[in-house]
Structures are given as C-alpha cells and as structure tokens.
Amino acid sequence: MNMQLQNPRNAEEMEQLKRLEQLKRDMLAKYLTKEARERLGNIRYAHPDLAESVENLIVQSALANKLREPIDDKKLKELLHAISESQPSNENRIKFDRKL
C-alpha cells in the first residue's frame, strides 16, 4: 500500500519542509557571494550546527530587511567568528589560516 495514502499529513509536512528548505537556499544564494557560499558549505562539513545557525541568522536578517548588500567572504568570516566566540565550548571555534 502507498505510504502517502496512509499518512497524508506526514506527506504534507514533508512537502512544506521541502518548500521551506528551497526558500532558504534561494535566499542564501541571493544574499551570499559565491565565495561566502563555498565557505559556508565547507563549514557545514565540520560544524553543521554552526552552519545552520549562520544560515538561520542570514535568513532572519534578510526577512527583516536588515541586509542591504550581499554578504561577502570577509563579512561571513566576521559573522562566523562572532558566533563561534559567543559559544561557550572551544569545540566549535573556527581558526582561519591564510593560504600561502
């Protein structure tokens, strides 16, 4: 038997979550430069919770019309540093090394 027919509410919730995730991806694509999106993607591998926090903060700021221009890599580094500094655990700190 089809699982969607047995539990239509769950299917509706899944569809709504997919739409919200797509909206979030669209907003991040609009408000982050290519380099910033790449950095955030790399951060997601090592620190998924931190990346999620940053993404949510960016989306909330965009929805509140607080973002006037796209966030570049430098601004994203500053945001990541501020968030990682505010967290009590040293486990989530990110160290930025310059490429030579």
pLDDT in tens, 16-54: 989 989 999 999 999 999 999 999 999 999 989 889 989
Whole-number pLDDT of residue 88 = 65
Whole-number pLDDT of residue 68 = 86
User: At the topology level of CATH, where does 7-90 sit?
Assistant: Helicase, Ruva Protein; domain 3 (1.10.8)
Domain boundaries, the chain: 7-90
How far, in Å, CA of 80 to CA of 52, rounded? 11
pLDDT in tens, 53-97: 899 999 999 999 998 889 999 999 998 888 877 776 555 556 777
pTM, whole model, 2 decimals? 0.70
How far, in Å, CA of 15 to CA of 12, rounded? 5
Q: Is the dihedral of CA 71, 63, 20, 45 positive or negative?
A: positive
